[in-house]
Structure 1
Amino acid sequence: MAIALSLLSALAYGVSDFLGGIFAKRSSAWQVAIVGQTSSGILSLLAAVIIAGSPTSTDLMYGSLAGLGGGFGVAFLYRGLATARMGVVAPISAIGTALIPVVVGLSTGDRPSVMAMLGVVFAFPAIVLISRVVDDNPAHKGGVIDGILAGVGFGLLFTFLGQIGDDAGLYPLALSQITSVLSVIITATALGHAWVPRGRKVWGALVMGPLGATAQGAFLYATHHGLLSIVSVISSLYPASTVLLASVLLREKIHGWQGVGLVFAAVAVALVAAG
């Protein structure tokens, strides 16, 4: 169950990132982040009303902290996706997304099987190879920085979501996504960017709401059925779908090492599932 939910999370994140990059190229990355995260938060809040749960104050605190990290991450991710190749920015963000919760999980008692740990070992070179920058375009180099910052934010998001109790329901998740909007506003204001949504194009990002809610919800429930150190790695393979979509729809070339990375990703998933 944990592996299936993690893969669903990775797929939803990958498609959402692809659409976020498209919308950010057409308008403002910061405004797209506001619209997308608000849409996800509203949907998660509606789901929380329907799905019973008993969150503690600690669960709500972790939800808020997750949102601060997530908002920071999504803002820089969309900025990078708007200015550089999707096949560069999204994979780089996945390194921090996976590494931070893996370190936290292992240091707080996660003890994966040998087979699952082999999967983790394969996952990191997969992410690195998919992330390999193959040219000197300055915009792509800037995308590397944005990808790193996004990875830190998402790594914190995954880590804090993984601390939410099994009986909390979806209120902490809804709070996370609502808090992420505040995080985007703070980040955009600090960097001097306009964040208030303007123009019709930016409102297309509303379609990202169901994807974002699905991605985070699937990850949250995956942590209830599996180890944070494993679930976070599988969910962090989301760049595979982003790279494939960019290749098919935007004609971005998948270079040789990226292809090898995609193979490593498949092996990683198989090993973790077998473990």
Structure 2
Amino acid sequence: MTAVILATVCAVVYGTADFCGGLATRRSRVFSVVALSQIAGLALILALLPVLPGALDPRALWWGVAAGLAGATGLVLFYRALATGVMSVVAPATAVTSAALPVVFGLAAGERPAPQALVGIVLALAAVMLVSRDRSAGTSGSAGSVLIALAAGAGFGGFFILLAQAPGDAGLWPLVGARLSSVTLVILLAIVTKRSLRPTAGSLPIIAAAGLLDMAANVLFLLAKQEGLLSLVAVLVSLYPASTLLLARYVLGERLRSLQVAGVACALGAVALIAVA
């Protein structure tokens, strides 16, 4: 039950971070939002190290570095897919892939969730696809953009899988490695592509909020993984688009489509089934 609570809260925090990031990208350049939010998250994790100490194990740092590279690569590919494809195709393809990969990995590694939990996993995957549907026009995308979206989802799913491989007594050190590698990669990409990292006036607070919330969610994921199965924790965490959607509805006044409402209902059902398993 502890793992379910932590993973569900993690999904809410991830979704809130994405909401803040979305607002930030409306006000500032994408690369400045990504880079500066990552730096804010790094500052938070360094501040939390004395509070949640762990054993400084080189394996933890290297697993974290690998996870950070996977996550950052997924982010770059996701933006690339959005630039070349249709949002209503790219977002669900990315979201479902990122949710499904940790489930498949966990089951292949020998995890055996209860039957109710397996039903909850199926509902959660359906929820991720439904709530990620965009109201943009068009229902199909090029094969190239779909493949890039799948690769982006693999990067995000790889982040969860690789982070979960770090030793259980490492504390927050895997996240230090993850954030150092992702910050380095994003800054190098900005330099190579000659993109400015300077935020527009007034956008820094919301960028910082996005980074701090994202890192807080990462911490919750690590804590949840220590308490439960990766196949269950990761799929619950992947429900984060539901909270982003609800925030857009009640903060920005965006209307929900019937498919998205059904997705939120599936998400609630998935959490309930996994909780009682």
Q: How many residues align?
A: 273
Q: CA deviation at 1:114?
A: 1.0
Verify the 8 A CA contact 2:27 2:200 in the aligned structure 1.
no
Kept after mapping to 2: 8 A contact 1:68/1:182: no
| Cα distance in 1 between the residues matched to 2:84 and 2:19 | 13
* Inter-partner Cα distance in structure 2 for 1:167 and 1:175: 15
Worse overlay, 209-218 or 230-239: 209-218
- Contact 1:71/1:182, CA 8 A, preserved across alignment: no
- The alpha-carbon deviation at position 150 of structure 1 amounts to 4.2
Distance 2:62 2:158 in 1: 13
Instruction: Give the Cα–Cα distance (whole angstroms) in 2 for the partners of residues 255 and 178 of structure 1.
Output: 39
Aligned to 1:212: 214
Note the 1:97-136 alignment, pairs <5 A: 97-136=98-137
For the 8 Å contact 1:33–1:75, the answer to whether it is kept is no
- What amino acid is the match of 2:60? D
Matched, 1:56 2:78: no
TM-score, structure 1 length as denominator?
A: 0.87
What is the deviation of 1:186? 4.1
Identify which of 162, 167, 179 aligns with 2:164.
162
Shift in Å at residue 255 of structure 1? 0.7
The answer (yes or no) to whether the contact 1:70–1:180 under 8 Å persists in 2 is: yes
> What's the CA shift for 1:108?
1.2
Identity of aligned residues (%): 38
Structure 1: runs of 5 or more not aligned: none
Q: Is the 8 A contact 2:29 2:197 kept in 1?
A: no
Preserved contact between residue 118 and residue 268 of structure 1 (Cα < 8 Å): yes
Q: Give 2:179's aligned amino acid.
A: Q
Q: Which runs of 5+ in 2 are unaligned?
A: none
Please report how far the alpha carbon of residue 130 of structure 1 lies from its aligned counterpart in structure 2 after TM superposition: 1.6
Shift of 1:260: 0.9
Give the TM-score of the pair, scaled to structure 2.
0.87
> How far, CA to CA, are the matches of 1:126 and 1:26 in structure 2?
30
Deviation at 1:58, TM superposition (A): 1.6
- Which residues of 2 match residues 42-191 of structure 1 at below 5 A? 42-75=43-76, 92-136=93-137, 148=150, 150-188=152-190
| Equivalent AA in structure 2 for residue 214 of structure 1 | A
The structural deviation recorded for 1:151 is 2.5
1:147–1:223 Cα change, 3 Å: same
| Residue-by-residue CA offset, 1:236-272 (whole Å, 9 max, x unaligned) | 0000010111122223221111111111111111000
Which residue identity does 1:222 align to in structure 2? A
Note the C-alpha offset of 1:99.
1.2
Superposition pairs of residues 241-260 of structure 1, within 5 angstroms: 241-260=243-262
SS of 2:239's partner is: coil
Closer, same or farther in 2 for the Cα pair 1:193/1:124, shift >3 Å?
A: farther
Distance 1:241 1:83 in 2: 26
SS in 2 for 1:49: coil
Q: Is the 8 A contact 2:91 2:134 kept in 1?
A: no
Q: How many angstroms does 1:17 deviate by?
A: 0.3
Q: Tell me, what secondary structure is at the counterpart of 2:214?
A: helix
Flag the 1:203–1:13 CA change in 2: closer, same or farther, 3 A: same
Aligned residue in 2 for 1:230:
232
1:82 & 1:33 partners in 2: Cα distance? 16
Deviation at 1:218, TM superposition (A): 0.3
Which residue identity does 2:175 align to in structure 1?
L
Q: 1:211 to 1:133 in 2, by over 3 A?
A: closer
Say if 1:134 and 1:143 are closer, same or farther in 2 by CA, change over 3 A. farther
Deviations 1:99-130 (A, max 9, x none): 11111111111111111111101111111122
Change (3 A) 1:21 1:134: closer
Q: Which amino acid aligns with 2:222?
A: L
Residue 275 of structure 2 corresponds to which residue in structure 1? Answer: 273
Q: 1:210: Cα distance to partner?
A: 2.5
